[in-house]
Every structure is written in structure tokens, then in C-alpha cells.
Amino acid sequence: MAELRARLRQATAPLHARVDDAFAGFTFDRHDGYRRFLRAHCRALDALEVALERAGVHNLLDDWPQRVRRHALRQDIADLGDLPPAPLTAPALCDTGSCWGAAYVLEGSRLGGQVLAQRLRQATTHAPTRYLDHGDVSRLWPRFLKRFEGEARADDWPTLLAAAEAAFALFIDAAALEHDEANR
């Protein structure tokens, strides 16, 4: 259902822009900026992946184990000499619609990860990029879209939208928390 995806993209565009703005302050030309960027992502991504697993995302995406990025993210943080932060509280994902909404945000973020990995490589050649480079985006994103468009239902719109909005908000909150900690 391509029109459902277009509707979701349009409805969440303002939140997506806010996420981009929230993370724009993490500069990659400094070790600390990239480390804080990863920590902020870890706070949100870790919580969302675990919530999706508890809600049964593997029933929607049989390739879920290939999509999980939190372990790569935690390894990148460790390589930068830090411990992963505590995850934020994930939104309640209680039905198929909410799983599709949260998964849409996580899977869409892979596309931005590719762009960010290229920008990071221009700033420094030694930073770990397991998280940003995770998975074959050229296959994972189209496979996700095929499943989403074939199985997500317009009847689930309220919970689908609410979960996508909550996932974007979690990333915004995580970025704000890391910015606050940096300014202490």
C-alpha cells in the first residue's frame, strides 16, 4: 500500500526535520561529537529494537535478525572508549500497526546512515562505522517497503502513526539529553 507509506512520510515529515535538526549539532570533526551522536542513537535505537522484539516484530519481518543494529552501535561506542548509555523508555508497541510505525522509522534511518558514514569518512579515517554501515541498505530498505506496502493496513493508521511519531520523538529526546550532558 504505497499510499499508506506516502501518507506516513507526509504526516511525519515535520518530526523527521526535527530529528535532523536535533542531530545537526553533533559534529563529526571531533571525537566527542561523534561519540555523543552514537550515544544519543543508542539511547533511542536500543529501546526501540527491544520494544519491537517484545511486540513480535519477527512475525512481520522474518529477516529481523539481519536488521538489528544495537550490537553494532554498542561496539562502535566501545571502540571510542565509552560505555553505552541507558536506553530511554520506549513507547508501548502493542499491535501490528504500532510495530509497522516504529519499524518504519528505524528502517528509514538506514538511508541517512549511509550519508552520515560518508561524511564521517571525510572528517576522519579512523572512526568506527559498524552502526552507520550496518546491513545492505540496497536490499534491506526495498524488502522492508515491499512488506510494509503489502501488509500494513490503513485500518491500523492511528497506532501506526502514533508509534512512528513516538519513535521520532524518542530520537529527539535522546539528542537533547546528550546535548544537555555535553553542556554540563
In a domain? residue 159: yes
Q: What is the pLDDT of residues 153-165, one digit of tens each?
A: 999 999 999 999 9
In a domain? residue 13: no
Tell me what the mean pLDDT of segment 106-135 comes to: 90
Non-local (6+) Cβ contacts of 158 within 8 A are 97
- Whether residue 135 contacts residue 128, with contact meaning beta carbons closer than 8 Å, is answered with no
In a domain? residue 144: yes
In a domain? residue 134: yes
**Three cell numbers at 52?**
519491537
Gyration radius from the chain CA atoms: 16
Residue 149 lies in domain: 2-8+30-182
**Three cell numbers at 90?**
520506549
Q: Please count the other Cβ atoms lying within 10 Å of the Cβ belonging to residue 128.
A: 18
In a domain? residue 19: no
Q: SS3 string of 49-103?
A: HHHHHHCCHHHCCCCHHHHCCHHHHHHHHHHCCCCCCCCCCCCCCCCHHHHHHHH
Does the pLDDT value for residue 38 go beyond 70? yes
Amino acid at 15: L
Tell me what the mean pLDDT of segment 60-87 comes to: 97
Mean pLDDT across the chain: 94
Tell me what the mean pLDDT of segment 126-142 comes to: 93
Domain with 110 in it: what CATH number?
A: 1.20.910.10
> What's the CA angle centered on 126, arms 73 and 139, to 5 degrees?
50
Residues 99, 158: Cα–Cα separation, whole Å: 12
- Residue 46: which of 170, 158, 143, 184 has the closest Cα? 170
Domain total in the chain: 1
3 state SS of 153? coil
Q: What percent of the chain has pLDDT over 90?
A: 83
pLDDT for position 1 = 63
In a domain? residue 123: yes
